[in-house]
Structure 1
Amino acid sequence: MVVHDLNKFIKGWFIGPFLPTLDPNTAFECAVKKYVAGDYEAKHYHRVATEYTVIATGRVRMNGVEYGPDSIVEIRPGMATDFEALTDVITFVVKTPAVIGDKYLGEV
């Protein structure tokens, strides 16, 4: 068994075509992301990738809608969203396919 430290990866992204990574996979990217209450990410979208965000702990607001533990938010290509941590939050995120640079600020 090999054990890795999530804190050694950038913003929780540990699988995907970037460095550092455990697997330079181009089929998908994976991250465990940790936020503190009040953290905010501006509205953005992907042209190619679908993003699945699992709310593991805490409460978030995305596009004005609140989500809590066990919610899985699917964001398809061309759908824009922002992200606000209403409490301390841990998410698990999968993006597929993994496309470097496929993040655009604002609305489509």
Structure 2
Amino acid sequence: MKKMNHYKLEDFLRGWFVGGFEPTLYKTTDVEVAIQYFKKGDKEASHCHKIATEITAIVKGKALMKGIIINEGEIIKIEPGTYTDFEALEDTTTVVVKLPGALNDKYLEE
């Protein structure tokens, strides 16, 4: 008999629930997936991934990424080696997919 398990997003580190880390719902280094919530004014430092492509969808709200306003319903694809930062211009919900799920592939911009 198949079963369905129930989890809470808050039980996962910064919303990351699929990937090669712990805790995870599906352990793989093929991809990483997160749903993240940001309050207006929350920021993330500029960084890049040398191996992975990162795809960020704004599900709700509005954000500023490297000087570009990203609105609800818009998606940004960030190629390896491209630096970007993040600032929530209002309360914002994102879905982030990183592939491959290369661990230790985050480099802060100097």
TM bucket (normalised to shorter chain) is over 0.9
Q: Which amino acid aligns with 2:19?
A: G
Q: Which amino acid aligns with 2:105?
A: D
For 2:70 and 2:27, the matched residues in 1 are separated by 31
- Give the number of aligned pairs: 107
- What is the SS of the residue equivalent to 2:90? coil
Percent of residue pairs bearing the same amino acid type:
46
1:57 aligns with 2:57: no
2:14 to 11, 17, 23: 11
1:79 corresponds to: 82
What do the CA deviations read for 1:46-72 (whole angstroms, capped 9, x no partner)? 000000000000000001110111111
Q: Which amino acid aligns with 1:65?
A: I
For 2:76 and 2:46, the matched residues in 1 are separated by 15
For 1:22 and 1:63, the matched residues in 2 are separated by 31
1:25 corresponds to: 28
1:89 aligns with 2:77: no
- What is the SS of the residue equivalent to 2:40? coil
For 2:89 and 2:14, the matched residues in 1 are separated by 19
For 1:74 and 1:68, the matched residues in 2 are separated by 14
Q: Which amino acid aligns with 1:92?
A: V
- What is the SS of the residue equivalent to 1:2? coil
In the TM superposition, structure 1's runs of 4+ consecutive aligned residues that sit over 4 Å from their partners are none
| Structure 1 unaligned spans of 5+ | none
TM-score by length of 2: 0.95
